Amino acid sequence: MHVGILTGGGDCPGLNAVIRAVTLALINECRASVTGIRRGFLGLLKREVSVLDKPAVTGILAQGGTILGTHNRCDPFHYFGAGGADVSGQALAYARELGLDALVAIGGDGTMAIAHKLSGLGLPVVGVPKTIDNDLCHTDRSFGFDSAVAVVAEALDRLETTARSHGRVMIAETMGRYAGWIALEGGMAGAADVILLPEQPYQLDAVVQRCREREAVEGYTLICVAEGAMADGDGLKVAQTIADSPDPLRLGGVGAVLARQLTPRLQSEVRATLLGHVQRGGSPTPFDRVLATRFGWHAAELVQAGGFGRMVALHGDRVTSVGLELVAGRNRPIPAGHAMLAAARGLGVSLGV
């Protein structure tokens, strides 16, 4: 058996742990040969591959990033290198030429959408859910999320001591374009006083009120805001437009905007910190190492059982799989009735509404 593995979309702690687990399981259990496709789907178009054997995956479990490289804009169905043309036939032809019996695609919603389409064209594909945003449908968790939350929690811990010392309002801006899981869990783990999410436009007055209450009693405030959050009535996320890019909207800066909105309304100084790609880099947490390893092993089992067109998923504590068609191109925002939102409100955290 010959199996290809690729990592698509943004990088994420735990990718190497999945690559290692899939490779070791396939070699140990069925003596498969395993090939790494480099830079996501671009490797299938540019014919960039490398051998994945035991030495190649030794010592990578705790390494951040991906040893295969990745690409977050290469869609063979709308290839930027060919003016948006569909070159999927070229990708399929190379997979056939390599003699791949299966492809394991590790990625987020975009990668799963491409995997689903390739699967429809006859490529035997198994997906593995990756994203620090934790916003893939039909899985309770994607690996990488726990590592990102740990970074946010530590950042808030550090911002708390300086906020308290100076009597300031400190804003931490997290990733999360359309789903606020990182801001919500990171904010809860770091004891934020205000958490602002993309799912619910914030009322500036509500944020001001919470900061004033804290100015009067505790003397400082911690705010955790997701990059996709926006003020009520604005209707626009804070973003830059990137010229000549298939993904022209780059989010970032809502923390600084919020700081400018709050400054004239408060006595305290307001400062914003953009956490950015720090949340995506570095070594996975032990939880993510184990989750990624379980996902990788399960993907190898699906390959051996011929369970194609499916994505590995976590349901409760059980690793299982779901049809790619349920996941492809979809997104999982925080539901309005989610228990953690109720818990946050119950503890007096302002959600800006």
Cβ-contact 300, 293 below 8 angstroms: no
**Is the CB of 136 or the CB of 300 nearer to ligand F6P?**
136
Cβ-contact 341, 333 below 8 angstroms: no
Give the tokens for residue 218. Answer: 């505790």
**Is the CB of 193 or the CB of 227 nearer to ligand F6P?**
227
Give residue number: closest CB to ligand F6P.
175
Distance CA 63, CA 70 (A): 15
Give the tokens for residue 325. Answer: 């068609």
Q: Does residue 75 bind ligand F6P (CB under 6 A)?
A: no
Q: Considering the candidates 133, 135, 146, 193, report the single residue annotated as catalytic.
A: 133
**Is the CB of 281 or the CB of 323 nearer to ligand F6P?**
281
**Is the CB of 230 or the CB of 270 nearer to ligand F6P?**
230
Distance CA 350, CA 187 (A): 11
Q: Quick one: which segment of 170-178, 260-268, 316-324, 341-349 binds ligand F6P (CB under 6 A)?
A: 170-178
For ligand F6P, what does the binding mask look like between residues 245 and 284, x meaning CB under 6 A?
A: ------x----------------------------x----
Give the tokens for residue 275. Answer: 């956490």
Shortest spacing between CB 250 and ligand F6P, in angstroms: 6
Spell out a b/e string for 45-66, using b for 16 or more CB atoms within 10 Å of the CB, else e: bbeebeebeeebbeebbebbbb
Cβ-contact 276, 2 below 8 angstroms: no
Residue 190, Cα to own-chain centre: how many angstroms? 19
**Is the CB of 127 or the CB of 309 nearer to ligand F6P?**
127
Question: What are the φ/ψ torsions at residue 34 (nearest 5 degrees)?
Answer: -125, 135
133 is catalytic: yes
Q: Does residue 40 bind ligand F6P (CB under 6 A)?
A: no
Q: Which residues between 129 and 148 bind ligand F6P (CB under 6 A)?
A: 131-133
Cβ-contact 171, 225 below 8 angstroms: yes
Shortest spacing between CB 73 and ligand F6P, in angstroms: 8
DSSP H helices in 100-180: 109-120, 145-166
Cβ-contact 221, 163 below 8 angstroms: yes
Q: Which residues between 173 and 192 bind ligand F6P (CB under 6 A)?
A: 175-177
Shortest spacing between CB 177 and ligand F6P, in angstroms: 5
Give the catalytic positions in this structure.
Answer: 133
| Contact residues: ligand F6P, CB under 6 A | 10, 72, 108, 131-133, 175-177, 227, 251, 280
